[in-house]
């Protein structure tokens, strides 16, 4: 088991940093405390397994509005097991009240900022949906044009088919008339040959 003492400097007081540090110990079997110093820094003393403490250190050395850790002094030692849990050591009630008001204001700002980002993303999504709808409309217009061309093509095909049928009918009538004439002429020739005594 190890003990680590951290002095964090920067914008770390009246911004919810102590609560952030306390939450970072959740389900990690870390004991100790976090408290504000008169210098404006925050002191953190934590005990636990070394690999767990290293991850804890990485998690609390942050710059995430409104928290801005700019200095992070770390010293290691052997755990003395004097703490049963991890807690926030608070100052006088008046200072703590003002800090909570500041934290609430910072959190409200973050909520507003996130809401604004969400609205921007929604606007972007709506714009993309509009673009997709425009493309769909263009595709439908093209389909209508193609459908019109198909209708024209079908009309031409029908006219061609009607013309072919008419041509075939006319051709059949013409050939039938011609064959009848040829048959008459062949019969006349055959009769003439028979009269001349020529057998066909």
Q: What is the pLDDT of residues 132-158, one digit of tens each?
A: 877 887 887 777 677 666 676 677 677
Mean pLDDT, rounded, of the chain: 84
The span from the CA of 200 to the CA of 183, in Å, is 15
Return the pLDDT at 140.
79
User: Has 18 been annotated as catalytic?
Assistant: yes
Instruction: Answer whether 15's CB lies under 8 Å from 100's CB.
Output: no
Options 27, 36, 61, 195, the catalytic residue = 36
Return the pLDDT at 98.
62
Q: How far is CA 151 from CA 59, 107, 141, 165, in A?
A: 69, 64, 15, 21
Write the class of the CATH domain 2-90: alpha beta
Return the pLDDT at 179.
77
Q: Is the overall model pTM greater than 0.75, yes or no?
A: no
The span from the CA of 31 to the CA of 54, in Å, is 14
- The token pair at 79 is 């755990």
The span from the CA of 134 to the CA of 132, in Å, is 5
68 burial (CB, 10 Å; 0-12 / 13-18 / 19+) is: middle
- In the chain, which ranges are continuous DSSP H helix? 17-24, 50-60, 93-195
Confidence of residue 188 (pLDDT cuts 50, 70, 90): confident
Domain ranges in the chain are: 2-90, 91-169
Residue 100, pLDDT > 70, answer: no
């Amino acid at each position: 088991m190890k003990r680590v003492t951290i002095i964090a400097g920067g914008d770390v007081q009246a911004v919810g940093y102590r609560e952030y540090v306390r939450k970072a110990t959740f389900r990690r079997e870390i004991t100790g405390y976090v408290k504000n110093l008169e210098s404006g820094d925050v002191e953190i003393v934590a005990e636990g397994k070394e690999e767990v403490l290293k991850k804890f250190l990485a998690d609390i050395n942050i710059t995430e509005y409104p928290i801005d850790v700019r200095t992070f002094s770390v010293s290691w030692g052997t755990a003395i097991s004097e703490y049963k849990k991890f807690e926030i050591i608070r100052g006088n009630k008046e200072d703590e009240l003002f800090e909570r008001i500041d934290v609430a204001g910072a959190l409200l700002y973050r909520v507003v900022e996130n809401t604004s980002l969400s609205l921007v993303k929604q606007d972007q999504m709506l714009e993309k949906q509009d673009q997709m709808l425009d493309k769909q409309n263009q595709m439908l217009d093209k389909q209508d044009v193609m459908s019109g061309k198909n209708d024209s093509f079908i009309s031409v095909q029908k006219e061609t088919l009607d013309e072919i049928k008419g041509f075939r009918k006319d051709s059949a009538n013409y050939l039938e008339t011609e064959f009848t004439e040829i048959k008459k002429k062949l019969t006349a020739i055959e009769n003439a040959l028979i009269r001349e005594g020529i057998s066909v």
